[in-house]
Chain A
């Protein structure tokens, strides 16, 4: 239990006593204007990101907004979206934080390959991700076929399927954020805990986790936001059925088929809810200036 960690893998500066040197606070640079060459593209970039949102606001049917908000199906889709995105985030944290820890703290062959594999869902078109999920977790899939025959469980077209699709797409965001936090964290605290007799599990729980908590929180928020907006993998793997698998993005897409204004209203709801939640969480968990 109290076996010390083998220090041979650590750097020699471990032996230096005392806490890490304090980082100097960033000084305000007075009297120096930002260069135009940066300001112009920055302004263009901002306009590029903000204008489409403004377009939604301008085109929104404000007069009929109240009726559309209480239209049947809207709240159902919103509730399902919030529920599945939250469960998917929990799944991602439970599986993703240990994965990030292994990547950041354990030296093993093929670590680079593992890291590259983890980022694949980031670049994979989500629709392809959905097909891939069907091939594994679908009724005829490698895992799904076994689940179906042994337990009679099918995942495709269920709310659980939505969670799987969202977690698949969103987990890389969490792993990358947490791994970055772990790499940025000062390992000397962990080594100090080890010298004091703490095992690796205890060190992880009592030292590492509190140390990188802001990073985990930031990763979880990013992960949740990605899960909330997930469309391609969800519609491919989980299908579209109101109340069971029809999340807000799916409802938006189908509304777009018939009625542009409903689609705008649904998008605005999703936007408002996510911005509110993210702003609240940011204030509470993450200290960013």
Chain B
């Protein structure tokens, strides 16, 4: 009786581990053909969170143009993505919001060839709809009583914000240093801060809730967005095709529509 039960438990364990292994194999084979030139199968794209809307659209267009392909995205802060890739995350393509984070990946020898800059993005001041505090430029953010959210310096939007503030000679104390640009934007949307330094594209994606105020110092802090096929890409052919598509006129028009500038 007791032995029988033990055996059942062991059998269950064996079945479970078998299932786990076969699931792993299944994942691997889903990657599709690796050597043929025709893109097919799954492509995994790690992309900066500011690319969320435009890359989702490009992914759909790419799938429509290449039947048999399936694009999966992982959107997050570029630095977090770079860490994940360097720790062996199974990604095909990396699109970063700054050359510095891209460099972390290429320095670790995880890039295939050189990274290509595909768009540029500029900072604007995001304010609640209607601009109730009448923010007109960077100096207005340093006024007392104006609550500002910036990105943490570790992430590209924070590094760019620091550069812009330094260029304008503006010293301000933010109430919070957010972990990525979308978190900073959502603090404006929720009305918890009066302003945040985010990308022009972020303001455009939230046009119903926020307004963007352009400021001249942002020209000193333009972010280049590089993209690269990864060396360990499980689906190299489709990865190359996806990057080519991003750089094509079709891809570029989606990106400019979202507020990005051509490089």
A residues apposed to B, CB below 8 Å: 35-37, 40-41, 131, 134-135, 138-140, 156-157, 235-236, 239-242, 245-246, 253-258, 260
Known: A138-B190, A241-B175. A37 touches B10 (CB 8 A): yes
Give the nearest-CB partner of B7 in chain A.
Answer: A37
Additional 11 contacts, C-beta under 8 A, given A235-B183, A258-B79: A35-B6, A37-B9, A37-B10, A140-B190, A239-B175, A239-B178, A241-B175, A245-B176, A254-B152, A254-B177, A257-B154
Q: Are A241 and B176 in contact (CB under 8 A)?
A: yes
Residues 1-45 of B at the A interface (beta carbon under 8 Å):
2, 5-7, 9-10, 13
Contact residues in B for A241 (Cβ distance below 8 Å): 174-177
Q: Are A156 and B192 in contact (CB under 8 A)?
A: yes
Residues 55-104 of B at the A interface (beta carbon under 8 Å):
77, 79-80, 83
Residues 234-260 of B at the A interface (beta carbon under 8 Å):
none
Residues 157-211 of B at the A interface (beta carbon under 8 Å):
174-179, 183, 187, 190-192
The secondary structure that dominates the A interface is: helix
Contact residues in B for A138 (Cβ distance below 8 Å): 190-192
B interface, size bucket: 20 to 34
Q: Are B191 and A139 in contact (CB under 8 A)?
A: yes
Contact residues in A for B178 (Cβ distance below 8 Å): 239-240
Query: How many A-B residue contacts, CB cutoff 8 Å?
Result: 71
Say how far A174's CB is from chain B's closest CB, in angstroms: 28
Does chain A have a CB within 8 A of B149? yes
Q: Are A139 and B13 in contact (CB under 8 A)?
A: no
Interchain CA distance A248-B179 in the complex, whole Å: 14
Say how far A254's CB is from chain B's closest CB, in angstroms: 5
Give the nearest-CB partner of A255 in chain B.
Answer: B154
Say how far B42's CB is from chain A's closest CB, in angstroms: 27
Contact residues in A for B79 (Cβ distance below 8 Å): 256-258
Say how far B124's CB is from chain A's closest CB, in angstroms: 21
Contact residues in B for A156 (Cβ distance below 8 Å): 192
Given A36, A240, A242, A253, which contacts B6 in the complex, CB threshold below 8 Å? A36
Interchain CA distance A131-B186 in the complex, whole Å: 10
Contact residues in A for B183 (Cβ distance below 8 Å): 235-236
Q: Are B190 and A134 in contact (CB under 8 A)?
A: yes
Contact residues in A for B154 (Cβ distance below 8 Å): 254-255, 257-258
